[in-house]
Chains A and B, each alone.
Chain A
Amino acid sequence: MSFTVELIICALVLLGGLFALLGSIGVLKMSDFYTRLHAPTLAATVGMGSLLIASIIAFTVREQRLSAHELLITLFVMITAPVTAHMLAKVALHQRQQSVANTRNKALTEKIRKRLPPE
């Protein structure tokens, strides 16, 4: 493995680890559920994405043939992440979880729960 390829893989691996960590820090430190919901998106998109690209490059170089099956995981995570986020938000609304005090348009919450138009 040449030095530049190794350097690229190292950078991608570290970026992926960093974004996984950032997503989890967000889940831990945010003050209400609705803001916490945003944090795992970091881990699901750039975090997983850069790790999987690093894996593709590493195995392609090592085995001297294209190894792209990691893209399948990226695809799967990218498709399921919005679905789980939507379901979790529905659960929080259903259980009448309170959003943090400085949330703007807080009056909309009840309308959203009943799926009514805003007016």
Chain B
Amino acid sequence: MLNLALQIAIGMVSIAMLFNLWRLLLGPEPADRILALETMYLNSMALIILFGLWQGAALFFEAALLVAMLGFASTAALCKFLLRGDIIE
């Protein structure tokens, strides 16, 4: 039963990532693309955690934590670049 639920959830998150990709290509403004990218980071974290549950390996937790940190740093850097035209002033 758990395997079936995990497969359904992985399917849902994958569809969610496809929607994000669509918004990423659609734009229309840079801010929309960053938002799509940030949601994609969230969904990829969800996917990694689901995969860890499926495999029964606690090791995937570290990967999810790293993705969370990279996601925040990259979103912040992109926003800063659009606001100031420069990342490190």
Indicate yes or no for A touching B, C-beta below 8 A: yes
Bound Cα distance A78, B35 (Å): 16
User: A14 and B5 in contact (CB under 8 A), knowing A36-B35, A91-B30, A95-B30?
Assistant: yes
Are A43 and B1 in contact, with the CB atoms below 8 A? no
List residues of chain B with CB under 8 Å of any chain A CB.
1-2, 5-6, 8-13, 15-17, 19-20, 22-23, 29-32, 34-36, 38-39, 42-43, 45-46, 49-50, 52-53, 56, 58, 61, 64-65, 68-69, 72, 75-76, 79-80, 82-83
Task: Return chain B residues, CB-CB under 8 Å to A112.
Answer: none
Please report the total number of A residues contacting B with Cβ < 8 Å: 52
Chain A at the B interface: SS class:
helix
User: A84 and B82 in contact (CB under 8 A), knowing A17-B8, A28-B22, A73-B65?
Assistant: no
